[in-house]
Amino acid sequence: MFGNDPVFHFYRIYGILMEGHIQEALVELESIKTKQEVSLCTMMAMIHAHKKSPNPDREIILELDAKLKEQRKVAGQQALYFAGLFLWHIGRHEKAREYVDRMIKISNGSKEGLILKGWLDVTCGKEANIKKAVKYFDEGLQNGNDVFGLMGKAQYFEMRQNYSGALETVNQIIAHSPHFLPAFIKKMKMQLALQDWEQAIETAHRLLQKDMLNVEAIKMEAIYYLCREGNMSEASSKLGDLISALNKLEPYNPQLFCKTALVFSRTCGRNPLILQQTQALMERAFNFASHDADMATKLGYQLFLQGKIKEAEKCYKAAMSLDETSVPALTGIIRCQLMEGKLDDVEQQLEFLNEIQQSVGKSAELSYLRAVLAMKKQKGQEEVVSLLNDVLDAHFSSLQGLPLGVEYFEKLNPDFLIEIIQEYLNFCPKQVREHPVYHLIKAQAQIKMNEPAEAVKTLQMAMNLPGMRRVASSSKSKTKMIEIDESDRVSFYLELVEAHRLNGEQHEAVKVLQDAINEFSGTPEELRVMIANADLALMQDDPEAALTMLRNVMPEQMYFVQAKEKMAEIYLKYRKDKKLYVSCYRDLMEKLPSSHTFLLLGDAYMHIQEPEEAIEVYEQALKKNPRDGALARKIGNALVKTHNYSKAINYYEAALKSGQQNFLSYDLAELLLKLNHCEKAEKVLRQALAHESVNDLASLMEDVRYHVLLAKVYSRMGRTDDAVESLQQARELQSKVLKRIQLEQLDSVPAQKQLTAEICAEIAKHSAAQRNYEKAIKFYKEALVHCDTDNKVMLELARLHLARDDMDACQHQCALLLKNDPDNAPATMMMADLMFRNQDYEQAVFYFQQLLDRNPDNYATLSRLIDLLRRAGKLEEVPRFLAMAEKHSPRTKLDPGFHYCKGLHLWYAGEPNGALRHFNKARKDNDWGQNAVYNMIEICLNPDNETVGGEVFEHLDGDTDSSTEKQESVQLAVRTAEKLLKELKPQTAQGHVQLRIMENYCLVATKQKANVERALGAFTEIVADEKDHVPALLGMATAYMILRQTPRARNQLKRISKMNWNPIDAEEFEKSWLLLADIYIQSSKYDMAGELLKRCLRHNRSCCKAYEYMGYIMEKEQAYKDAASNYEMAWKYGNQASPAIGFKLAFNYLKAKRYIDAISVCHKVLEAHPNYPKIRKDILDKARTALKT
């Protein structure tokens, strides 16, 4: 395949050299050293080979080095590149950089040179260089998909722990180079790093279909069965396959044998079958490198794991003979001696190693051996546990920053962790349930679960356990007495008092409390019992008795602070006396002056809504401790409450400048956002996030909060893409938090899951706003994985399913939501909507009836019902619901919501003037005003609901557009609409776009060329920002029609016709379909027009215009009965107001020989429009004549 390619030959020879066949490699290198592009790297490889040989020839090396220097002076671009590449492969990064920099310089910025420089930076281990690497990769990848460059970029993302970014880059490689197997290997590793085992194993299977002996894929399968499934027999089988593949592909690679043996031996739980396989692997590695002390040590480790202590010790001693300074070999010997009970030898060796450890840093292994020795020498629990804690700290520090993968499992070393756990278990109580504290915790849980009777039983049982009474039992039991401190004993009594109280047994509670007073009289815990006694007095509505008890507590006594706090609570809650409440805290501060008591006084002032006084106290405390960020936060919060925002900002900024209080960045940014100082808020958050990647849980959680707030800032600024990116980063960090928190802070799991759901829901919300419904659904579903009872998310997901016409999914989601929350009004409305769409009219009305029966003046529901009744073709049902609302309250007729609903009904019923009057009554209202104004503007611009831009009916009506009166009327309506536009005050980015759309619809309505072209430009800009914006696309199409550019209009409308219908853009979809149908009718494409019109009627059965167009098509096809049926529906849903439709209906009745119906319609038209042209002569007279004959 590669023929005589010298580069291929060079790397084949390099492989031979790496396998240790030095002479063979040198002979082969000699044959290609004259090839120009590999001349430098060949010379370097020859020098490298001579240095690796057992007896290096110094003269030959010097001679080759001199030749290399000569050739380097005249080397070309390719020779320099491959020289740099080879130097990188042998680990000489700095030397490689010299060659690559020179190559980039002479080639004027070679892309392959830049990519190699990126690789040098990303693998050099220096943080500053790693950061720069991505710049070189991006420059090298401009306008291309270089596989080496993309793999480098994926490596960069992996190093930055951005595993999603790495996976995305690798997928890009696979899309362009589906046979490039290293990309699949990287993909598999990144999927595992993201803890997606199923996807990782699926990729491994795909790899094995392409390459049956792929070592990494077989290793993944073996790891999967071992670490994920715990299936030892299958894992052993896969390990056997892996060993076979290594024998065929890497028979001379002891390092690979060694690493493979190590990871599987450490993770197999000392399974004998797997340990036999790993020992065999290690023996092969040692046979290839019998001079290597490390290999001998690792072979000893394999034997030790199998309990072959003597053999293991022999290997460790062999390693020591190969390298007297080998600490791992000495450690192995100590392990064996510990097992054999040679404690004095062990102690001596450990003292020696301890001195070494101080110079090289703590070793988890040595700390463990010291702990085991201490345990065997029966040292105290505190000493042993402290040593074991040191072991864990040192051990886990080596795992920081490692992704889940083979190296992680090797370094995690579960076998070692189990050894540590076994040592810890020596100090665990043998019979937990015999310990009184077990019963105390159980009772506390029962109280939390509202089971006070069970808690009483549990505590009474515990009170009879040994060690619970101060005077020991006279029984001569040999059972070891469990020691319980005084504080825990008090807790038993007080919990029992609380359990009796909650169980309604006040007398028993008093009795137990009296026992506690007698039991603990004269002890430091006496005051705690007294405070509990005060609590009981409060329960019995005797605050004075409680205060009398609490006044007896003196400042020098232990629970003085708690007593004062309880007194303050009584003064505020029972006496409603704020002065005495504050005086308790002031007295506390004076008697025990400390930063804590200052804070308590300040908090007390805040509690009674006196922030000015709180600020004074906080500032005094801050003078005592100027670097206390918590105080600065409290002062900032207090200043915000007093609306002194600039001073609050100053406090936060001053605290941040001290460099100790970075957590205040959030408070400052939040305040800046509240004040709409978005750029400043962004800057603060960017600075807070400008740090190296962190691993501690608190910092990860803080960064998540910063990213979420930054997304809010970007949303406020209208930078949606940046907001989504920030949320994605928050989500990625939060996934790490979730994995860690389940081990480190179990009680925080629900709150963190809720936060994860909120982040996903925010991403979904942005995606839905951008009409990326699939992405939105994906993230709403992910939100529900973390919080499956979030009604808001369930509702949004149902809305999205509805927008995508996925009725079954929507109904399923609504049903789940209504199961959780039967009174959820939006879900009920959506179910009603679904029933309408499924033509189940009665069921739909039933859902709305439920809502309106509970609340007849719920105008949000009523307005939705009116819209749905219109879409169902049942507008005649609306008046009864309006009547229900009127009966509900005498003030209904004054309510803007009622007027809005009334206006909506009249608009839909073809009475625009009546609709305007009612909308006008709602237009100043905060809730209904904006929608009312939008509707008024639409009526002004198109009172007769014509197809704007349509040409089919343009000259068929008796009243043509060219008449002066009509033109003046249109201009007046546009001016009115423009005035109304000034009343619109949108609050969101989408709202501003909607206003802009409406402004340009006004320009289109003038039909003046300059205005229409201006509007067209604006619509085009909106579509450039959001390609599927239906109102803007419709605006473009309408403008093109008015400008007589029909093909361009048709293109925009066809785009809309291919989109999924959604309720938000329902009106625009309908207008688009009607306009496209109009174009098709003009071209005599009646079938295509008919499909669009049916689509209109499917979504709105009251669509008068769709029926009118259908009638026109039937009339053109001389199907007069069908034409009459459609015009009949148009006449009905147009409220019999349009004389043009009346004329067409009467004409088709005449043609269909329905003379009486024709005469009846003519009378109705002439009654409203006495001078309507032609109808009397062409239809009425002819129908009468035909009726007579």
CATH of the domain at 985: 1.25.40.10
pLDDT score, position 958: 47
Distance CA 374, CA 355 (A): 18
Q: Which two tokens stand for residue 878?
A: 């609306």
Residues 952 and 1083 in one domain: yes
Give the C-alpha distances (Å, rounded to integers) separating 713 from 78, 701, 846, 861.
49, 19, 43, 33
Based on the fold, state whether residues 912 and 1036 are members of the same structural domain: no
| Euclidean distance between CA atoms 37 and 10, whole angstroms | 10
Sign of CA dihedral 958, 962, 968, 969: positive
Same-domain status, 912 and 1025: no
Whole-Å CA distances, 592 to 596, 607, 808, 899: 9, 21, 68, 65
Within-domain flag for 504: no
- Looking at 1071, 1100, 1129, the residue that finishes a domain is 1100
Together in a domain, 976 and 895: no
Indicate whether 1091 belongs to any domain.
Answer: yes
Are 707 and 726 contacting, i.e. CB atoms less than 8 angstroms apart?
A: yes
Instruction: Looking at the structure, tell me whether residues 1060 and 1005 fall in a common domain.
Output: yes
User: How many domains does the chain fold into?
Assistant: 2
In a domain, residue 1011? The reply is yes
- Per-residue pLDDT at 627: 65
What gap in Å lies between CA 505 and CA 512, rounded to an integer? Answer: 11
Within 10 angstroms of residue 1133's Cβ, the number of other Cβ atoms is 24
Specify whether the CB–CB gap between 1144 and 1174 falls below 8 A.
Answer: no
Return the pLDDT at 546: 82
pLDDT at 479: 46
Within a domain: 1042: yes
Q: Are residues 1073 and 1007 in the same domain?
A: yes
Amino acid at 52: K
The DSSP H or E segment spanning 102 is helix 93-106
* Alpha carbon distance 299, 279 (integer Å): 7
Residue ranges of alpha helices (H) inside 942-1008 are 964-981, 989-1005
> 1079 with 1019, same domain?
yes
Classify the C-alpha dihedral 787-789-793-796 as positive or negative: positive
CA dist., res. 1106 & res. 1096, Å (int)? 7
CATH number for position 918: 1.25.40
Query: Does residue 1014 fall inside a structural domain?
Result: yes
How far is 789 from 866, CA to CA, in rounded Å?
A: 31
Distance CA 749, CA 934 (A): 46
One domain for residues 1012 and 1059: yes
Token pair listed for 313: 């010790």
SS3 219: helix
* Contact between residue 205 and residue 184 where contact means Cβ atoms under 8 Å apart: no
Distance of CA 177 to CAs 150, 151, 207, 209, Å?
A: 11, 12, 14, 16
Q: For residue 1053, tell me if it sits in a domain.
A: yes
Within-domain flag for 221: no
- Best CA proximity match to 190, nearest among 150, 148, 157, 221: 157
Q: Within this chain, do residues 915 and 1057 fall inside the same structural domain, yes or no?
A: no
Is residue 180 in a domain? Answer: no
CA dist., res. 219 & res. 234, Å (int): 12
The SS3 call for residue 462 is helix
Alpha helices in 75-162 (DSSP H): 77-89, 93-106, 111-123, 127-140, 147-159
905-942 pLDDT tens trace? 999 998 999 999 999 999 999 889 999 999 999 999 99
Cα 829 to Cα 83: distance, rounded to the nearest angstrom: 71
What is the model's pLDDT at position 950? Answer: 86
* In contact, 394 and 365? CB cutoff 8 Å: no
Please state, as a whole number, how many other Cβ atoms lie within 10 Å of the Cβ of residue 205: 12
Q: Extract the runs of DSSP E, i.e. beta strands, from 941-1088.
A: none
Closest CA to 204 of 226, 185, 190, 182: 185
Quick check: 94 and 106 in contact, CB under 8 A? no
Reported pTM: 0.53
Domain boundary among 1056, 1085, 1100: 1100
Q: Which of 1100, 1120, 1136 is the last residue of a domain?
A: 1100
Question: Could you give the CA distance from residue 216 to residue 214 in angstroms, rounded to a whole number?
Answer: 6
Spatial contact of 1109 and 1138, defined as CB atoms under 8 Å apart: no
What's the domain range around 992? 942-961+972-1100
Query: Do residue 908 and residue 980 come from a single domain?
Result: no
Report the alpha-carbon distance of residue 452 to residue 449 in Å, rounded: 8
d(CA 303, CA 309): 7
Q: Could you write out the DSSP letters of every residue in 385-401?
A: HHHHHHHHHHHHHTTTT
Are residue 994 and residue 865 in the same domain, yes or no? no
Read off the tokens for 617: 């106290």
CA 1130 – CA 149 distance, rounded (Å): 64
Rg, the chain, Cα only: 41
Same domain membership, residue 1027 and residue 904:
no
The residue ranges of the chain whose pLDDT is under 70 are 1-3, 357-362, 429-430, 467, 469-483, 626-629, 658-662, 839, 841, 955-963
Give the N- to C-terminal CA distance of the chain in Å, as an integer: 96
